[in-house]
Structure 1
Amino acid sequence: MFKSTLFLVSFLLVCFYSFAQDGEIKVNSEWNPDQSLSIYTNSQKTGQNTVKLKFTTLRGFEARRVSNKIFIATVGPGKKEILRLKKIPDYTGQSARYNYSVFDGASLRKSPDENFKYVLPTSENTDIKVFSVRDISDLEIVKDKGSSFFAIGFTFRGKDSICAVRAGQVLEVVNILKVEESRETIYQSGRNKITIQHKDGTIAKYTITAPVDMMIKEGEFVIPGQPLAAFKDAELKNNLQLQVYYLSNSILRSPDIGKKSPYVGVPLKFTANNGEFFGVLKKNEEYKQYLNPDIISEELSKRQKKKLKL
């Protein structure tokens, strides 16, 4: 979707393009009495998201925060001033023109900690089997995510619950898969899924191949090991595909980004087997869920720990 508004001399042309759904995040500009220009975002989305401004014209303004005609900001829900352009003294006829894009997630300047301890996505003291650890960039669900994208496949027993592998805020819950549509292990965008944003800005996507009863809702904060959904039918292929990725600030700033995806996959390391295992999971191996207060509370605030009596 494109939107534009034209101003001459002391005015601004704004072109709008967003990867988010229509109306979820808007960018507006306002002139101030001192002839500076404020650029605002107004977000109705849950969690943190990223706005990228790419200037094609910028005259008569001090723009120290604009690098190579690009400005990137992470924004939360509500209205926020992300950039104020101050007028250069005695300059007449200042003007600015830019495009902006919206991306899911916060943009990170450095890679997240690859030694973070994730817990298994199953109930406490329950065994779970790993059926796949691989690059899945060729699958339909990640065609728009670039080549650096990895996933781990898990097979559950019976009507077990899918649990959070890390603390975070629920961004999206999709529960549309019917029993008659779940005879094959296929990962598609139309499958049941849960998306959770973590404290460090990474995002986890749980893609589910069978009907489930969802146990959480958008906006809710979850802790490691907390049940997210329960499988309905023990006879089906109750599989889960887990992906963790982040939005790269450096790729977003790249002048030759073209069709390259700005999202980067994170290789995961898990703790399991009563704390005796920590590392990368292996295909066709079974592991037992391991939870303790230190793991559960690692990313919680003092208030959250007190509430949970940790």
Structure 2
Amino acid sequence: MKNKLKLSLCCLLAFATYIETKAQELPITIRGRTNTDRSIEFTAIKTGPGTYTLVLNFKDVTNATAGREVVTVTGYSKSAYVLEPINKDQGVDFSYGYSYIRGKLKVKHDPEFVYLLPYKNGTKVKTVESSFAKATYFGSTTPEDWKAYRFYTKTEDTITAVRKGTIVEVIDLYETDDKKGIAFTNKLNSIMIEHADGTILRYQGLKKGSIVVKVGDVVFPGTSLGVNSKTHADSPPNVSLLFMYLKSADIEASRNVNLQNSKSLYGFITAKFCTTANPSMYVVPNQEYTVAVTPEIVQKEMTKKELKTLVKN
């Protein structure tokens, strides 16, 4: 019996207003094959590092049982699902679609985890909290747990990693818009890092051409990433940090809403930082802090091999 394959694809990335600039290669593709026992095996092929949540939606299924299946994809190739025929003497008929979103569901985040501030040891920074741009400029609803940090310096300075993680995305396309009076732009260079616990951190607002890391690199607290930049002509140099985790894979429902009633599929983290004033604190908007880089934070998530390498160097 011939399988009916009807494929639909939706790629949703957190705040991916820059999606038109990305390469044409899709992060996730699905391959299906029929096994000798008439089962149908679906394999997810991932083209880059980092975790994705894949949603398979099966319809019109005969001689098998399947519906909405949610799968975590970490490696570059993963057997995502197998349709087993109820009657082994007959094939399986079905149609299906799939969608995916960056991140891992059911992340176990430690709210007491302490991060570095995103600059070199001893740097003085001023912090502010950024509003939810989609609410401020487009009438969307601000998520209940929204939190975004922006760290200013008086002159351009090196941005550093605040925690160990893997670089999963780099955008280095945009020059600083030097027009006066610019309040909002989505054309910002950024780096996205995935941490061991599945949380994701976006560093946004780096100077074009300054980024010194690439996708796939593992970075440690204090590792140089690039240089901050002015968000627009009226601002001092700065970088913004957005700590996120995937809290919902309801991708299908999110397609059918407008900006006014949309809900984020991501949760946001209120982070604790290490400063010279306090080794574990919540920063206060419009206050100045001095960066403190401690061995405890730098080495906290290192493997034994990484620690040995650190000692040798």
| TM-score bracket for this pair, using the shorter chain length | 0.7 to 0.9
Counterpart position of 1:216 = 213
User: Which residue in 2 is equivalent to 1:100?
Assistant: 98
Structure 1 103/144 Cα, relative in aligned 2: closer, same or farther at 3 Å? farther
Is 1:261 equivalent to 2:254 in the alignment?
Answer: no
**Aligned pairs (5 A) from 1:151-166:** 151-166=148-163
**Aligned with 1:76 (options 70, 74, 77):** 74
SS of the aligned residue for 1:99 comes to: strand
Unaligned runs of 5+ in 2: 13-22, 258-262
Q: Show the 5 A alignment for 1:224-303.
A: 224-231=221-228, 237-248=236-247, 251-253=248-250, 258-259=256-257, 260-273=263-276, 276-303=278-305
How far 1:57 moved relative to its partner? 2.8
Counterpart among 23, 46, 58 of residue 61 in structure 2: 58
Cα separation, 2, equivalents of 1:198 and 1:48: 10
Give the distance between the partners of 1:153 and 1:283, measured in 2 at CA.
9
| Alignment-derived partner of residue 177 in structure 1 | 174
Aligned equivalents of 1:72 and 1:283: distance in 2? 39
Q: Counterparts of 2:54 and 2:251 in 1: how far apart (Å)? A: 15
Q: CA deviation at 1:153?
A: 1.2
Q: How many residues in Structure 1 have an aligned counterpart in Structure 2?
A: 293
Residues 295 and 160 of structure 1: is their aligned pair in 2 closer, same or farther, counting only changes over 3 Å? same
Preserved contact between residue 53 and residue 249 of structure 2 (Cα < 8 Å): no
Q: Which residue identity does 2:174 align to in structure 1?
A: L
User: Is this contact kept in 1: 2:108–2:197, CA < 8 A?
Assistant: no
Check conservation: 2:206, 2:228, Cα contact below 8 A.
no
Partner residue, 1:16: 8
What is the one-letter code of the residue matched to 1:293? P
Residue 121 of structure 2 is aligned to residue 124 of structure 1 = yes
**In 1, are the aligned partners of 2:129 and 2:149 still within 8 Å (CA)?**
yes
Note if contact 2:99-2:251 (Cα within 8 Å) is conserved in structure 1: no
Q: Match of 2:178, as an amino acid? A: E
How much identity, in percent, do the aligned residues show? 24
Residue type matched to 2:200 in 1?
A: I
3-state SS in 2 of match to 1:61: coil
Unpaired runs of 5+ residues, structure 1, are 1-8, 64-68
Partners of 2:280 and 2:182 in 1: how far apart? 28
Distance in 1, matches of 2:29 and 2:143, equals: 26
Structure 1 residues 204, 84: CA separation in 2 closer, same or farther (over 3 Å shift)? same
* 1:185-217 deviations in Å (ceiling 9; x for gaps): 755331121111111111111111655621212
Mapping for residues 21-36 of structure 1, pairs under 5 Å: 22-24=24-26, 25-36=28-39
CA deviation map 1:210-250 (0-9, x unaligned): 556212122111111111112479x96201111011112xx
Q: Is the 8 A contact 2:128 2:286 kept in 1?
A: yes
